[in-house]
Structure 1
Amino acid sequence: MNLLALLALAVVCLASDVQRPLELAANPSTKYVVAHFIVGNTDPYTLDDWKQDIFLAASKGIDAFSLNVGSDPWQPARVADAYSAAKMQGSFKLFLSFDMSAMKCDAEDAAAPLRTYIDTYRKHPNQLLFNGKPLVSTFAGQNCLFGTGDLNSAWNTAIKANREPIHFIPAFFVDPATFRDLPVMDGIFQWNSAWPMGNYDITFGPDSSYLSNLGGRSYMAGVSPWFFTHYGPDTWNKNWIYRGDNFLLAKRWELLIQNRNSVSIAQIMTWNDFGESHYVGPIHGAQPNSQAWVNGFDHQGWLDLVLYYSQAFKTGKYPAITKDRIFLWGRLYPASADPPPGADHVGRPDHWQWTSDKVWAVVLLISPATVTLKCGSSTSTAALPAGLGKMQLSLVSNCAVSAAVARKNATVLSLVPSGFGFSKTPPTYNFNAFVAASP
């Protein structure tokens, strides 16, 4: 919807969504929070780079990285550094996720690199074990036959038959009704559970369809804050968004916490996939030609929100709030606006109509307070109770975003993020999120 003409200079009405305490189920087994890590973006990484990422992730409630490995000849050396850095940290774990969109799997010998990876790290002290076995995953792989006749035989021959046990949880894009024909899987990772696949809010429906066909096997669910990719036909030909509106990151976590009895692992998507804009880690390494929409859009403001929710997912109890916090995110340009002619040959992304021009705010309060969001003439104010609350603010004119928490008519917390300015004249079609958090 184009709000610019309809709502210019209007004061936005109160809009708030207060999270009430959730009824949490008992914890039947150990829960893990992991983050998907694109090794393909680490060509210039040193051991210190890995240490930086691993120590940061561990401090934010993340237990492990799922190392997305491809076919580049330099990637085994980066994986070796990752395991070395994890050992230096101590408790942080890693596991392999074979990117089968990049690795060969059309012949029997194509499985050799997979087996080499598994055998190299299965006994490593920082290898993530699930049910006492090394955890192994994939991105895709549902079309891999490794020279055999069917999918189940292919993967069994490739990484399981006559070998030490592993716990195999791939992200196969297959009809859940076929899970019964895939006993090679010890579980499934539902990659597209992290975002709504249409113009609607996130639900647990896609998870339920997988769970009802798994027969009690392990379930790994995705959780993600955003999705925007902007490659033209001259490169990867990917130019679309998924709907990140209406507090996607927060509401997805709340769904996983409500259904935690059914979810073994929550996988954050991602730590560093800059090309699809759903990174939560620092911007460093090698970008996949995504600088145009990534540079200047740091997402680390989401990490403390990840910490809050991951503790609830793993323990079954929301952590106590000991400090007022404000988390803000949103796009910097109207969804319907065009850049100058010739500035962006890729064009406006598909599904652009699925997003509204708004700031999304999650607030953690130690006691009841009045919270105000402002951007130019738009203002939203709400009296929120202690705990986690949600607010939104429509963006209608060129303005700078700010937020404040007040008690007894005195401001106790103010956030005016540098760079968080809404502009009606975008330089390019950039639908990435700008993220900010109070200290």
Structure 2
Amino acid sequence: MRRSHISVHRAMLTLSLIAAVIAATNTLSANAQIVVAHFMAQNAFSYSQQDWTNDINTAKATGIDGFALNIALPDYEVDRVATAFVAAENTNFKLFFSFDMSRSWQQSDIVSLVATHASSPAMLTYNGGVLVSTFEGEGNGNDFWAAIKTSLANEGIKITFAPAFISFRDPSQTGTLLSSFPSIDGFFNWWSWPNDVDTTLTTDTDIAYRDAAHSRGGPYIMSVSPWQFKDIDQNNAWVELGDTLWKYRWEQAIQDVKPDIIEIITWNDYAESHYIGDINPNVDLGTAAPNYVNGFPHAAWRIIAQYYISWYKTGNAPTVTNDVVVFCFPADAVFAMSLLSSPATISLDIGSTHAQFDAGVGAAIGSVNFPVEDSQIPFIQIIRNGQTVKSMHGSVFVTNSCSWYNFNPFVGVVQ
């Protein structure tokens, strides 16, 4: 839940234990289900082509088809995305622009940037048009976007416009969206976390805006995110309910919504703690974010993503060949998500507190409350037929005090 000031009873560090490699396809076909990840281009200031190639290869190994390049300003980012397109062309990877309209953009700058890369074989297209998205932008009005489409059309470039107009979240507003913006072709629903409430996210918004997007030809882009936490200053401090989000949001997408494109939020937005890419040590994180980002890798989340990406693309839950348990918590409990090859009991101990749950094949989740004792570390076991198959202690202690309120998950691996 978003709060202007965060108070917690414990230091919030997340412990994850993962051991699995799940195959997923990376090749796009005409009717393929597409998975992309939101990439903050402003964090690429120090990037060389090799940095881009490294990120692209890591994403492809996860089953991700492309990056949505969140570009904030027509500054150094223009040169960096040019390098990104070269790297993507060399690796059969897709890119498209997601203009960050919380900043000031001139129509001419948007037209120029799209036109520069429209013919690249790495540019992601949809319904015969270059895919263009946004973060915000509804405040610019329909005429702003219609003029951009016209200018590009005059250059022989058709675009498929699927923005994230974030003020449109209420399902009842779809009619207003369509009547106010005849220029849009599809829609990107940015909201992949509960609406600042202590309840899980529903699919009401997804289904309403999916249907609205399809009435225009689409695509409907559904966001999936593992987390949301930020602690920069008193105006930028919040945490959303995310204990089970990385499981149920994927399953909502696969089983209920069936979107045209899934966009993972994010690959590298470190300050909001939902990055699934590796932390590039050359990226300038500012002064506050390093307090809760440095030393908190999220690479193991990608193993969970592999499982669901494969399921989304093939329509069938993949066979799990190794056992996985993932731990995370912004509440006073440790939540355990398992991916199992066969049924087992997941045993959770921390201090004097014990819990366990029976998990079947595939994904399951359970939790154990924090103990009364200070400075305790979780102990996790996978028990099958009365025998411990795998076990491991967590990597950090849960304590009663902390120097910086930290709800950013620490994700470790056992294999």
Q: Which TM bucket (shorter chain)? A: 0.7 to 0.9
Kept in 1, the 8 Å contact 2:8–2:405? The answer is no
Q: Counterpart of 2:408 in structure 1: which amino acid?
A: N
Picking from 274, 283, 287, the partner of 2:285 is 287
C-alpha displacement of 1:72: 5.3
C-alpha displacement of 1:179: 2.2
CA deviation string 1:57-90 (max 9, x = no partner): 110111110000121521111101111111222x
Aligned to 1:322: 321
Aligned to 1:239: 237
Q: Counterpart of 1:390 in structure 2: which amino acid?
A: I
C-alpha displacement of 1:97: 0.7
Q: For residues 4 and 134 of structure 1, what CA distance do their matches in structure 2 show? A: 49
Q: For residues 438 and 64 of structure 1, what CA distance do their matches in structure 2 show? A: 28
Kept in 2, the 8 Å contact 1:41–1:288? The answer is no
Matched residue SS, 2:408: coil
Kept in 1, the 8 Å contact 2:193–2:240? The answer is no
Query: Could you tell me the TM-score, scaled by structure 2's length?
Result: 0.85
Q: For residues 194 and 165 of structure 1, what CA distance do their matches in structure 2 show? A: 33
Q: Within 5 Å, which residues of 2 pair with 1:330-369?
A: 330-331=329-330, 356-369=331-344
Q: Does 1:157 align with 2:157?
A: no
Gap runs ≥5 in structure 1: 6-27, 105-109, 145-150, 332-355
Aligned to 1:309: 308
Q: For residues 186 and 83 of structure 1, what CA distance do their matches in structure 2 show? A: 24
Q: Taking structure 1 as reference, are residues 58 and 48 closer, same or farther at Cα in structure 2, changes over 3 Å only?
A: same
Q: For residues 412 and 375 of structure 1, what CA distance do their matches in structure 2 show? A: 19
Matched residue SS, 2:233: coil
Picking from 104, 116, 120, the partner of 1:120 is 116
CA deviation string 1:303-343 (max 9, x = no partner): 11011011111221111111112222224xxxxxxxxxxxx
Aligned to 2:225: 224
Q: Does 1:379 align with 2:379?
A: no
C-alpha displacement of 1:159: 3.4
Q: For residues 274 and 34 of structure 1, what CA distance do their matches in structure 2 show? A: 17
Matched residue SS, 1:143: helix
Kept in 2, the 8 Å contact 1:35–1:267? The answer is yes
Query: Could you tell me the TM-score, scaled by structure 1's length?
Result: 0.80
Q: Give aligned pairs, total.
A: 375
After TM superposition, the structure 1 stretch with the greater mean CA deviation from structure 2, 38-47 or 188-197, is: 188-197
Q: For residues 253 and 374 of structure 1, what CA distance do their matches in structure 2 show? A: 28
Q: For residues 363 and 270 of structure 1, what CA distance do their matches in structure 2 show? A: 22
Q: Taking structure 1 as reference, are residues 3 and 375 closer, same or farther at Cα in structure 2, changes over 3 Å only?
A: farther
Picking from 257, 264, 273, the partner of 2:260 is 264
Q: Does 1:71 align with 2:67?
A: no
Q: For residues 9 and 353 of structure 2, what CA distance do their matches in structure 1 show? A: 12
Q: For residues 4 and 38 of structure 1, what CA distance do their matches in structure 2 show? A: 32
Identity within the alignment, %: 34
Kept in 2, the 8 Å contact 1:269–1:278? The answer is yes
Kept in 2, the 8 Å contact 1:330–1:435? The answer is no
C-alpha displacement of 1:257: 0.6
Aligned to 2:25: none
Gap runs ≥5 in structure 2: 1-6, 11-29
CA deviation string 1:80-136 (max 9, x = no partner): 1111111222x21111111111233xxxxx111111111111111111111232111
Q: For residues 138 and 212 of structure 2, what CA distance do their matches in structure 1 show? A: 17
C-alpha displacement of 1:195: 3.8
After TM superposition, the structure 1 stretch with the greater mean CA deviation from structure 2, 151-160 or 264-273, is: 151-160
Matched residue SS, 2:347: strand
Query: What is the root-mean-square deviation in Å for CA atoms of aligned residues?
Result: 2.2
Aligned to 2:399: 423
Q: Within 5 Å, which residues of 2 pair with 1:132-143?
A: 132-143=128-139
CA deviation string 1:366-418 (max 9, x = no partner): 12222211211122122333222212111133211221112233322123332
Q: Counterpart of 2:344 in structure 1: which amino acid?
A: A
Q: For residues 382 and 31 of structure 1, what CA distance do their matches in structure 2 show? A: 33
Picking from 97, 106, 111, the partner of 2:107 is 111
CA deviation string 1:329-369 (max 9, x = no partner): 224xxxxxxxxxxxxxxxxxxxxxxxx21212111111222
Q: Within 5 Å, which residues of 2 pair with 1:174-189?
A: 174=168, 175-181=173-179, 182-189=181-188
Q: Counterpart of 1:65 in structure 2: which amino acid?
A: F
Q: Does 1:94 align with 2:69?
A: no
